[in-house]
Amino acid sequence: MKKTKLVTLALTVATILLGYSVSTAATYTEYEMYVKRPSNFAGNTYYTGAKYEPVTGAYLGLFAEGDRAVHDWNADSWGWYFTNVPKFMGKDHAMYMLYMPYSYDFNHYKSHYAEAKRLGKGMQICIEPQNGLDEVQNDEKLLEMAQDARDTDIPIFLRFANEFNDNANAWHKDGPQKYIEKFRLVADIMHKNAPNVVMCWCPNDWPIASEHAYYPGDQYVDWVGVSSYPPYNSSKQPWQGNTWLDRFREVYDSYSAKKPIYISEGAPMANAERAYNVDTTDLAKREISRFYASAKKKYPRLKAIFYWDNNQELGAGNIRHYKLSDNPPTLSAYKNAIKDEYYLSSMNTQSKNYYQLIKSVKMNPNKEVVTSLVNDVKNDISKVDYYINGKFAGQGTFPEYDASVDFTNFKGKSITLSADYFNSVGKKVKNISYKIQVKN
């Protein structure tokens, strides 16, 4: 099986430069305790009923076509990411991502769709109208695209004209009204002719809150995605003052009650933005670990994460480094981060567990996994000590902060569950406590 020529990466790389030097995003500092519970406790609390949506958990997704360690586009299918990613990264992924100009025949990647079908994988296909939105018409081409998408017989996340709120993209200049018109047109055709396709509305996370004017309406949007990259400056600080966990919060808060949310692409850089010779591997490694450990707690309606495993060449020798195979520490961090069964390797599955905020639940009178979410750009928290009524009950370490805490002796009682948070040099920087009830 041979693949046709790779679409030029320069045309498809997410441009995240907009606004970096002129704006500062909200910075959140959060310390919260959670308890790990079987997913059946959640019921449909975090489920909207969208096509392909897991009730709990988040699909693992990846753009790996540019990483030659896992993908050789000149080889047959056994040299592709479908086969090599599980071996290289220690875990299979449920979905993979490809980019395609609108002018291309949808079957440009037909061999990839066939391999995805053979392996039971989904595909995120990013359709980019690089000649502007007017090239999208209610015509035979669009109908053929829908029919070809249907014939793949795989779950397709159709990410149409993504990052429309970023002025680096050709379709941005057409404005919100034209964008909405064309998104609705594509959605109507796909919904009518391709039942395996979900329409994905996917802004950039920056400028914050700039996406709302482009929303096509609930009947046209199946999933809401967001491109999210956390850059660092030459002083090795978050460029806009916030963590990866914060960058897409505004989109999540605005739309997650009615649509499943996903990271349509994203990754931390292993070098500094606009100071590309400054290595930020340690920061990227920690950000990967922190993000995957925290997102499953903070954002239960986040249902898929597509990691961007590719570098971006900017010219004049400048490169944004994201590629995992180029950086063993970030690769190791990613492999460890995705081990948790919460992150799903197969479509149409769900996680066995989920997380509840402790201050809003009652504890069971047995051993429970108590854990923490720490979101703090100023302090690297290395460990957490947990206490029941002032007595030591367990310890958790970065990045999960999990501890098995025994509530057996407190059956039917009201207790104080508290936590002390310590930085990397052993200094306590935070204490939180909850008054909670233990069940009979």
Residues belonging to the active site: 163, 265
37-63 b/e with 16+ CB inside 10 Å = b? Answer: bebeebeeebbbeeebbbbbbbbbbbb
Q: DSSP for 256-284, please give it.
A: TTTS-EEEEEE---SEETTEEEEE-HHHH
- Which residues does residue 182 pair with via DSSP β-bridges, in sequence order? none
User: Running DSSP on this structure, what letter comes out for residue 365?
Assistant: S
* Helix (H) / strand (E) containing 298: helix 281-298
- Which residues does residue 126 pair with via DSSP β-bridges, in sequence order? 99, 159
User: Running DSSP on this structure, what letter comes out for residue 5?
Assistant: P
List of residues 6+ apart from 398 with CB closer than 8 A? 289, 290, 380, 381, 382, 383
* Helix (H) / strand (E) containing 45: none
Q: Yes or no: say if 296 and 58 are a contact pair by the CB < 8 Å rule.
A: yes
Find where tokens 């931390």 sit. 268
| Number of continuous H segments (helices) and E segments (strands) in the chain | 8, 21
